[in-house]
Amino acid sequence: MKMGNSSFVAIALLMSVVVLCNGGKTSSYVRKLIQNPVDMPLDSDAFAIPPGYNAPQQVHITQGDHVGQAMIISWVTVDEPGSNEVIYWSNSSLQNFTAEGEVFTYTYYNYTSGFIHHTNITNLEFNTTYFYVVGIGNTTRQFWFTTPPEVGIDVPYTFGIIGDLGQTFDSNTTLTHYQNSNGSTLLYVGDLSYADDYPYHDNVRWDTWGRFTERSAAYQPWIWTAGNHEIDFDLQIGETQSFKPFSNRYHTPYESSQRTSTLQYKWLTTELPKIDRTETSWLIVLMHAPWYNSYYSHYMEGEPMRVVFESLFIKYKVDVVFAGHVHAYERSERVSNDKYNITNGICTPVKDISAPVYITNGDGGNQEGLSINMTQPQPSYSAYREASFGHGTLEIKNRTHAFYSWNRNQDGYAVEADKLWLFNRYWNPLDDSTTNIP
Ligand SMILES: [Fe+2]
């Protein structure tokens, strides 16, 4: 159940390569609401501030080590720093434990953050429900989570996938639908609050996003990927430290996983060989900008990264790659394009059952609206594409099979619009394509 998760950021480069083949399905579903989504107002119930002096808000958790026996508990207090302590206990024991973390603050232009607490609680039992309390000494709030099962080759587990969520009424629908799924951990593929769409990147919208997502993120780990909307680099207002709000608010477990902070390529080339597929059967990669994208929006932006990394994904038998960035849904067949060397003209992706399936879940519902313009005809690598909001779920069944489904936000309820069985590339490397491609 270990996850190869990584924080990739798009590098924009346009190349005039067009693939002209007839491929999979372009959904004819037309969403009723065609106007751009709007952010929920500041006084929306979704952003309600919990009552009480110095009450913890924006509570969220993420996996705190490599295997799932630790959890980073994060929250914000606004009146005073208050305690960094988390008190926790399991449902099978009456013994309380206490862990203490650290508090962070930052300024961004004319904004000063609240007191952002991060406490990693460790030595947890697998597959166990824990209750935890934050706000010790002032107003306390209690939450719970369940740790993942012990790493094992045939252990079933269900992930959710959300990207580019933002904080609109549509975002609210997406999150509600996800909460009604059976996902136990959310894989978040980047672009969180969209605060940077506001004047001076109004960081109040980072706080509202934290309160909005608490109803899920306080109860199950959200695994983070950074997107371009997390960069928050703005010379005009003197903000030159990239990822400042994101890195203060959303910690990741790279230290407690004995990971090193290195350049991405170096990190990945040392990380991939460590994954023992006889122990960890599924290899999932998260990134922000997709490599296989047939929408006009962000077309070919992932190309510089693909030419560097794609052969690694094939060599190490990555099963599935989730991305966001493009505000729509798309799923590829198993294809590769790693023979292309810029000058040899071999620039068309070809069927390759050693390659991952690439899925774009940039459809969370943010205020920038849907990416509706698609390249025509649909390229052969594209198995299914639809310009609707929604979320994905990946149900790992055993070492050989996982079931993926994409759930469209249709008329107020989740509709399963695309689904397929994925065969594991290490244990069951058979052809699982859903369309005929040359
Ligand atoms: Fe993006």
Considering only residues 396 and 1, tell me which one the structure prediction assigns the higher pLDDT: 396
Q: Looking at residue 347, what is its pLDDT?
A: 84
Give me 27's structure tokens. 């959904």
Read off the pLDDT of residues 119-133 as tens digits, 9 standing for 90 and up.
999 999 999 999 999
Average pLDDT, rounded, for the chain: 91
pLDDT at 14 over 60: no
Per-residue 3-state assignment (H helix, E strand, C coil) for the chain: CCCEECCCCCCCCCCCCCCCCCCCEECCCCCCCCCCCCECCCCCHHHCCCCCCCCCEEEEEEECCCCCCCEEEEEEECCCCCCCEEEEEECCCCCCEEEECEEECCEECCEECCEEEEEEECCCCCCCEEEEEECCCCCCEEEEEECCCCCCCCCCEEEEEECCCCCEHHHHHHHHHHHCCCCCEEEECCCCCCHHHCHHHCCHHHHHHHHHHHHHHCCCCEECCCCHHHCCCEHHHCECCCCHHHHHHCCCCCCCCCCCCCCHHHHHHHHHHHCCCCCCCCCEEECCCCCCCCECCCCCCCHHHHHHHHHHHHHCCCCEEEECCCCCEEEECCEECCCCCCCCCCCCCEECCCCCEEEEECCCCCCCCCCCCECCCCCCCEEEEECCCEEEEEEECCCCEEEEEEEEEECCEEEEEEEEEEECCCCCCCCCCCCCCC
360 pLDDT tier (thresholds 50, 70, 90): very high
pLDDT given at position 340: 81
User: Nearest-5° angle of CA 186, CA 188, CA 192?
Assistant: 130
More confident residue, 50 or 253: 50
Among 13-17, 24-28, 384-388, the range of highest mean pLDDT: 384-388
Instruction: Give, in order, the Cα–Cα distances in Å from 144 to each of 76, 207, 252, 366, 435.
Output: 17, 22, 19, 28, 43
- What is the mean predicted confidence (pLDDT) over 65-78? 96
pTM assigned to the model: 0.93
Q: How far is the CA of 41 from the centre of ligand 1 (A)?
A: 23
- The proportion of the chain whose per-residue pLDDT surpasses 70, expressed as a percent, equals 92
Residue 400: which pLDDT band, with cuts at 50, 70 and 90? very high
Q: How far is the CA of 17 from the centre of ligand 1 (A)?
A: 21
Question: How far apart (Å, rounded) are the C-alpha atoms in residues 216 and 225?
Answer: 17
pLDDT for 410 equals: 87
> CA 2, CA 214: separation in Å to the nearest integer?
24
Q: Catalytic residue positions?
A: 298
Q: Strands 329-332 and 57-63: what pairing?
A: unpaired
Residue 253 has what pLDDT? Answer: 86
Largest Cα–Cα distance in the chain?
67
Are 27 and 385 within 8 A, CB to CB? yes
CB 227 within 8 A of CB 324: yes
3-state DSSP of 270-299: HHHHHCCCCCCCCCEEECCCCCCCCECCCC
pLDDT band for position 355 (cuts 50, 70, 90): very high
| pLDDT per position as a tens digit, 304-347 | 999 999 999 999 999 999 999 999 999 999 999 998 877 888 88
Ligand 1 centroid – CA 12 distance (Å): 11
pLDDT in tens, 99-117: 999 999 999 999 999 999 9
Which tens digits make up the pLDDT trace of 294-314?
999 999 999 999 999 999 999
Is the preceding peptide bond at 37 cis, omega within 30 degrees of 0?
no
Q: Is the pLDDT of residue 5 over 90?
A: no
Q: According to the model, what pLDDT value does residue 234 have? A: 97
Contact predicate 332/382, CB 8 Å: yes
Q: Confidence class of residue 170 from pLDDT cuts 50, 70 and 90?
A: very high
pLDDT at 89: 97
Could you tell me the distance, in angstroms and rounded to a whole number, from the CA of residue 431 to the centre of ligand 1? 31
- Residue 193, pLDDT above cutoff 60: yes
- For the segment 423-429, the average pLDDT, to the nearest whole number, is 98
CA of 322 relative to ligand 1 center, distance in Å: 13
Interval between CA 399 and ligand 1 midpoint (Å)? 32
The number of residues in the chain equals: 438
- Between the CA of 163 and the centroid of ligand 1 the distance, in Å, is 9
